[in-house]
Chains A and B, each alone.
Chain A
C-alpha cells in the first residue's frame, strides 16, 4: 500500500515519535512488562485477597484452605484421581448442550428477529422459560429423561438455548434495512439477499450467541450433574461436599472457571478472525 494516501488511520503513526535514542527498546520492554502485569495482576490480586481472608481471623482457619493446599489437591487428583476424566466428562456434556442449544437457537432466534409479529407473540414465553432456574427443573427432567447422560445434556441444552436465542433475535432485529435496500437496487432476489446479505450479517450474532451459551452452560454444569452423576467436575464437588473436603471443592470450582475461561478466549479469538471486517468502537 502506498504511504501517500492519508486517510488510513493511526497504526503507522507511532514508531517515529520516540525521540531519545534509547527510547524505543525501553518502551518495548515497558510495554511487555505492562502486558504481563495486566495478564497476571488480577490473579495475583485474587490470591492475595484469599491469603488475606485466610489469615484475617474472620473465619476459622479450617474453613478456608490455602491456595497451596488447593494446588496440592489439584496435583494429587490429577496424578491418581481421574481429574482429567472428570474434566473430560464435564466438557463433553457442556459441548453437547451448547452445540445442540445454539444449533436450535440460531434458526429460531433468526426467525424471531426477522418477523416482528412472531417475536411479539413469543417474547413473553421465551422470557418465562428463560427465567426458570435449571436446578428447579431437575425433578421433571428426571421424570421424563431418566438419570442418564441424556438428562444432564437436556438441562445444559435448556440453559444454552434460552440464553442464546435472545442474543440471536435481538441482534437480527437490529440489522439495518439499508443493506437490503442497496442489494435490491442492484437487482438481488429475495434468495440472493438472504444468502449474500442476511447470512453474513447474522454471523456475528451467531458467534455471540455461541459465546453466551457456552458461559451459561458452564454456569449450569454443577446443577446438571446433580442428576446422579458419577463423573464430572460437578460430581467431584458434590462428593467432596458430602465429606466436607473444602480443598477439593475449591479445586473443582477453579477448574470449571478455568476451562470456561480458556474456551471463551478461544472463541473470542476465532470470532475476531472471522469478523475482522467489523468496526470496533473503543
Chain B
C-alpha cells in the first residue's frame, strides 16, 4: 500500500499488552500510511488504542507484530524529528516561558549558537502571543497559554512531524477553537506532517486532511475519509453545509464505535460476574 511519498507507514501492526488479567490486544492488524505534509486525525472511542499507535510513531512503544517505519526505517526510539504534544501540556514548571522554548535548542541533538537561540525564542514568543509572559513561570499561565507554549517548544526544534495526543482536550470550548485556528495559522507558515488524536469529530474535520475512524478495542481502521476542504481554512468553514453534512456522517460512524465499545464493556462485566460466581 506504500505509494512513494508515504513517510510513516504502519504495516500489519498489532500490539498486545500483558496485563494482570492476561494478554490484552489493543491494536489489531492496522495498516496505513502518512504522506509528507498530510494532517491525519485518528478518531475513535477512548481506550481504543489510538494513543498506543501514536506512541509507536513517537518511539515510546514497539509493535508486537508488523512494523512501523519512518522513511522506510523501523522506528527504534524517540527523536527530535518527531515533536509531541500532550493533553497535560508537559511544559516544564521550573523553567520560564522563554527557557521552556529554548529547552530543546540547548540539547546536543539540536544545539544552536546563543544568538540564534535568542532569535528563535523571540520568534515563537511573538508568534504564540506570549510576549507579556516571557519571564513568567508556567504556573501563572492559563491552559490555553500552556498549550501554546508547548507548541512553541515543539516547533522550536523544527521537527518534520508533530504528534498530538488530545492536545486541546483539557481546554474550554472557546480556547479550544482559538487554539485550532492558531495551529492552522502556524501550520500555514511552516508546514508539518501531523498525526492528531482527538475525540472531537468537529476538530478532526476542521484541522485534518485525512481522518481515520478507529474501532473500539482492539483498534482497527474502520474508515479512511479524505477531507475535501483545502487550506487555508477559516471559521466560515464550520458553517458551510458540506462541513456539517460530513460532520454528521462521521459522527454517526464514530457513535457506532462508541456503542460497540459499550456493548463490549457490558459483556466483559457479565463474563467477570459469571466467573466470580
Contact = CB atoms under 8 A, between A and B. Distances in A.
Do A and B pair up? The answer is yes
A134 B108 CA distance: 49
A9 B78 contact: no
Contacts of A182: 84, 86, 90, 92
A189 B153 CA distance: 17
A187 B79 contact: yes
A187 B110 contact: yes
A201 to B, nearest CB: 7
B62 interface: no
B132 A1 contact: yes
Nearest to A2: B132
A185 B140 contact: no
Interface residues of B, number: 37
A179 B107 contact: no
A274 B209 CA distance: 47
Interface in A1-30: 1-2, 5, 7-9
A72 to B, nearest CB: 50
Contacts of B109: 186-189
A197 interface: yes
A197 B86 CA distance: 17
Given A196-B103, A278-B93, A181 B153 contact: no
Nearest to A204: B94
A184 interface: yes
B131 to A, nearest CB: 9
Interface in B74-109: 77-80, 82-84, 86, 88, 90, 92-95, 103-104, 106-109
A178 B103 CA distance: 15
A277 interface: yes
A186 B139 contact: no
Contacts of B163: 185
Nearest to B145: A7
B83 A185 contact: yes
Contacts of B196: none
A192 interface: yes
A187 B90 contact: no
B103 A185 contact: no
B78 A197 contact: no
Contact of A181 (B60, B137, B138): B60
B82 A7 contact: no
Contacts of A179: 90, 92
A25 to B, nearest CB: 30
Interface in B59-83: 59-60, 77-80, 82-83
B146 to A, nearest CB: 10
B70 to A, nearest CB: 14
Interface in A185-226: 185-189, 192, 196-197, 200-201, 203
Contact of A185 (B78, B88, B132, B138): B78
B108 A197 contact: no
Contact of A192 (B79, B92, B93, B108): B108
Interface in B134-163: 137-142, 145, 153-154, 157, 163
A158 to B, nearest CB: 33
B221 interface: no
Contacts of A200: 92, 94-95
B192 to A, nearest CB: 13
A186 to B, nearest CB: 4
A80 interface: no
B58 interface: yes
A181 B84 CA distance: 9
B108 A185 contact: no
30 contacts: A1-B132, A2-B132, A5-B133, A8-B140, A178-B86, A181-B86, A181-B90, A182-B90, A184-B78, A185-B78, A185-B83, A185-B154, A186-B80, A186-B110, A186-B153, A186-B157, A187-B107, A187-B157, A188-B107, A189-B107, A192-B107, A197-B92, A200-B95, A201-B94, A203-B94, A276-B137, A277-B94, A277-B137, A278-B93, A279-B139
Interface of A: 1-2, 5, 7-9, 178-179, 181-189, 192, 196-197, 200-201, 203, 276-279
Given A2-B132, A186-B103, A187-B157, 19 more contacts: A1-B133, A7-B141, A9-B140, A178-B86, A181-B86, A182-B84, A183-B103, A184-B60, A185-B154, A186-B107, A187-B107, A187-B108, A192-B108, A196-B106, A200-B92, A200-B95, A203-B94, A276-B137, A279-B93
Query: Which A-B residue pairs are the 4 nearest by beta carbons?
Result: A187-B80, A187-B109, A186-B104, A7-B142
